[in-house]
Structure 1
Amino acid sequence: MSSYRNIPLYGGAVTCDLPKRFADVSKLRQVPDHQEVWIDKDGFTSIIFDITERVGEPGSGPEIDGRAMTTHLEDMVGSDINTVKIWNTAETEFTRMQDLKLPAYTLIATQTPHAASDQASAPDFTAITMTLLRLEKEDTDILITINVPHIKGEYDADEVDLELGKQGKLIGDAVEIAARIWETFEIKDWGLFGETARHH
């Protein structure tokens, strides 16, 4: 079990718990205003919060929101979408905001680099846990993505077989972190979305 602390994001407009071993990347390099990026100091996993303009048609429901998730995933991986496999998608509840009845969904996917990858350190594959929280009134989508590169020698390949539902330790950790974020994520200042959405 990771030990967590409550973190102010976007200048305190949003708060949630993150594991203590994650560091704020903006202290090391520039991060766009609409993003918060945190990286595991002891590993390769990163957590990205991204406030983006809402995509897709108005309203909500598995079809509309499912299409929105696909659009965001394609935006994220770009032309590599053919290297991505989505394993499952589930409705998600943000505990501290459940009264607002905001639609939210999480998918687990893997991206396998092209065989021609010439970097020795390229991961065998990267697992992606992506949660989409939809704020229709604010015309905003919030994406919370946990990227989990699986690098040869850094994980036990026998423990990971998503076909069989075996997630292995790294993905298991990411799912635990995601669940903690769903439990603790809270929007303190809704004015944030007017500002960041306009600039995006």
Structure 2
Amino acid sequence: MQDICSDGMEAQHLFGGALSAVIPHSAKDISEVREIPDNQEVFAHKLTDQSLMVDLLEYQSHVEDGEAARYHFEDLAGSNEASSPGSSKVVHVQPLPKSQLSLQECSSAFLLTGTQCISKFNEEAKNVVNIHLGLFRLPQFSTDILVTFNDPVSISPLSSSAAGESAVITAPWTAQDFLQVLQSLRLLDPGVFG
């Protein structure tokens, strides 16, 4: 289901309508293809190897706001098996001003940019992926909302992703598309947090 935002863009309902956000063009809802955990929404670009994920995670109270984005990036690196030396790097972290966000319930928000060397489907081949990570902290709901944009910059010829790489005609998603997702994220039903 979708709503029209004030700027004319369509906002897609997430988590059964509990949240919404403007999802970039050419997005395929991965839950139509495979089972996705209840605390996650996953979209993939129809023609590139880019993906976008929204995760509802437990609030990490032991981590200060300024370090929370790095904490989640390092956790993601562990999940991606990109935690060996040199395979994961934070480029920069910056706060997102609440005045530019639709999600006014967050106590703070951050944007992290980094890179990870990731293998797809546990393959041996490693791809270099720019990771753009948006973190919204909602301590009152014991929740951290993590929005992740995976943007491959170098795909190994031995990766299963290499087959579709040359066929890309449709414009890939950009950092600006991702920023629009972050700025348009909206809470519609706090009951989603339990």
Q: Normalising by structure 1, what TM-score?
A: 0.74
**Conserved 8 A contact 1:146-1:174:** no
Q: Which residue of 1 aligns with 2:192?
A: 192
**Conserved 8 A contact 2:115-2:129:** yes
Once the two structures are TM-superposed, the CA of residue 30 in structure 1 deviates from its matched residue by 0.3
Report the secondary structure of 1:70's partner residue: helix
Report the secondary structure of 1:31's partner residue: coil
| Match 2:20 to one of 11, 15, 21 | 15
Q: Which residue of 2 aligns with 1:6?
A: 11
Number of residue-to-residue matches in the alignment: 166
| Match 2:141 to one of 120, 134, 138 | 138
- Residue 180 (structure 2) pairs with residue 180 (structure 1): yes
Once the two structures are TM-superposed, the CA of residue 101 in structure 1 deviates from its matched residue by 5.7
Q: Normalising by structure 2, what TM-score?
A: 0.76
- Residue 77 (structure 2) pairs with residue 77 (structure 1): yes
- Structure with bigger helix share is 1
- Residue 87 (structure 2) pairs with residue 92 (structure 1): no
Q: Which residue of 1 aligns with 2:58?
A: 53
1:174 aligned partner, one-letter code: T
Which ranges of structure 2 fall in alignment gaps of 5 or more residues? 1-7, 157-161
RMSD of aligned residue pairs (Cα, Å): 2.5
- Distance of 1:183 and 1:74 partners within structure 2: 24
2:90 aligned partner, one-letter code: I
Which deviations, in whole Å up to 9, do the C-alpha atoms of 1:79-110 show, x marking residues without a partner? Answer: 52231111111111352234x46300010001
**Conserved 8 A contact 1:106-1:131:** yes
Once the two structures are TM-superposed, the CA of residue 70 in structure 1 deviates from its matched residue by 2.2
- Distance of 1:97 and 1:146 partners within structure 2: 18
- Distance of 2:51 and 2:58 partners within structure 1: 22
- Distance of 1:37 and 1:113 partners within structure 2: 17
Q: Which residue of 1 aligns with 2:4?
A: none
- Distance of 1:101 and 1:10 partners within structure 2: 18
After TM superposition, the structure 1 = structure 2 runs for residues 145-156 of structure 1, keeping only pairs within 5 Å, are 145-150=148-153, 151=155, 154=165
Once the two structures are TM-superposed, the CA of residue 111 in structure 1 deviates from its matched residue by 1.0
- Distance of 2:50 and 2:15 partners within structure 1: 21
Which ranges of structure 1 fall in alignment gaps of 5 or more residues? 58-62, 156-168, 195-200
